[in-house]
Structure 1
Amino acid sequence: MTPFARLHHTGEPLLLPNAWDHASALALAAEGFPAVATTSLAVAAGAGLPDGASVTRDETLRLALTLGSGPFLLSVDAEGGFSQDPDEVGEFARQLAAVGAVGINLEDGLGAVAGHAAKIAAVKKAAPDLFVNARTDTYWLGEGDERDTLRRLDAYQEAGADCVFVPGMNDPARIATLVRQLHAPLNILYSPTGPPLSRLAGLGVRRVSLGSLLYRRALGAAVETATDIRAGRTPRGGTPTYADVQGLVMQR
């Protein structure tokens, strides 16, 4: 079992924060987070491109190259793998592993189950040690069909997924039921309106991702700071110093 895989099998769920650049990843690692993931929304927004449209392959790989040698374990949000061809997805996964990534997140977008399972199998063939987090969007994009969710996750586990991800599922009873039906660890997307980390731990969740939350809050804080200053108010919240940020840059 790889070090990243072991983080999913401790007594507590892995809280996985999602960074969007070198500084944000290093700042999170400095706070003691052993693993950091990327978020596809931030990669796309930073490039002026739409998220989930399979158009940020190069940007995603470039960020992985920047972060792959950092003092943390890196998992990469690769949308649906940037291709419908399983072999091309496998090759992209191999490239991620080559630059230091230890995990990959692949979403099904409610597409064909067999097609997504084939992508997962191709990744495990091309990069056997890469930890595959297989995401289904039955709650994120659909209506939360429990039977379809389990059908999809069963197929993804059978294809070799190391962990399964159901963003948008926040009901404690449904989460607990799903945990009992799976043999792979369950990943839940944290929501400020959903169960807190301690409750998710008690339900048996083994990984809690923050997704784009940190990036969106950072954007919100930037706008709030500018409008506070314009209105004559003193900006609130913590602010790293210039030297703090320079220190992160020097850790390359």
Structure 2
Amino acid sequence: MKIVHISDIHLTENGTEIWGVNTHEHFQKAIQKIKELDGLDGIIVSGDLSNDGSKWTYEYIDRAFEETGVPTYCCPGNHDNLEMFYQGYKPSYYKICEKFELCGWNFIMLNSVVPDMSRGYFNPDVLMRLLKSSNGPVAIVLHHPPVNQDGWLNRKLLDNKSHFKEIIEHFHNVKLVLYGHSHYASFRTFEDIIYNCSPSIGFAFSPNLPKFEIACGKEGFSLIDTSNDDISINTILI
């Protein structure tokens, strides 16, 4: 299986810049990079598609993903408008679902968003139900980091991350956890589970820079390959 993991697009209506950054331009560069990749089985988006929650941004993103021709699946982030994300806009191409199967893998798209809060929280009952119904290897996708982050990025995490860890410890078929929110590429392994934070498409940060200083040139996405019973992850900068 070969997939792209994208996070934190932060698109704004009519191209309004964020902190002097043109997130529209970055998104288009990412789409072009994805089009140049061969053999992709899917695109996984771990939240913050929109920065302002406008219907226009979701329509724009939907059309852009359709151009790739690659099946695309999304979960929300704290900047997404949950009402618009789940009910207001019905995407014609990208899919919103709790769970799907791809190349023998089970993907759980876990909503970790609490309205009007930057920190995250997931429903343990939902995760338990979805895991119990999953056969074969499992990848869990959510927006907020379920593990500690480096430096000043270790903030506004998943509030009940200890509960997350307790649950997945009982399911040995969980192999991969994909998340975003930190705007910084990181890769770590705990108890044979790989945790991958995709770099942001919109604008990047770094624990090695002052708080909220833009890490120019570090925007991008993750390319994940599970061939030969191994999981390899590479960062593709845009």
> Shared topology, TM-score over 0.5?
no
Q: Higher helix proportion, which one?
A: 1
Task: Provide the TM-score with structure 1 as the length reference.
Answer: 0.41
TM-score (norm 2): 0.42
Which structure has the bigger radius of gyration?
1
Higher relative contact order (CA 8 A, sep 6+): 2
Select the structure that is richer in strand: 2
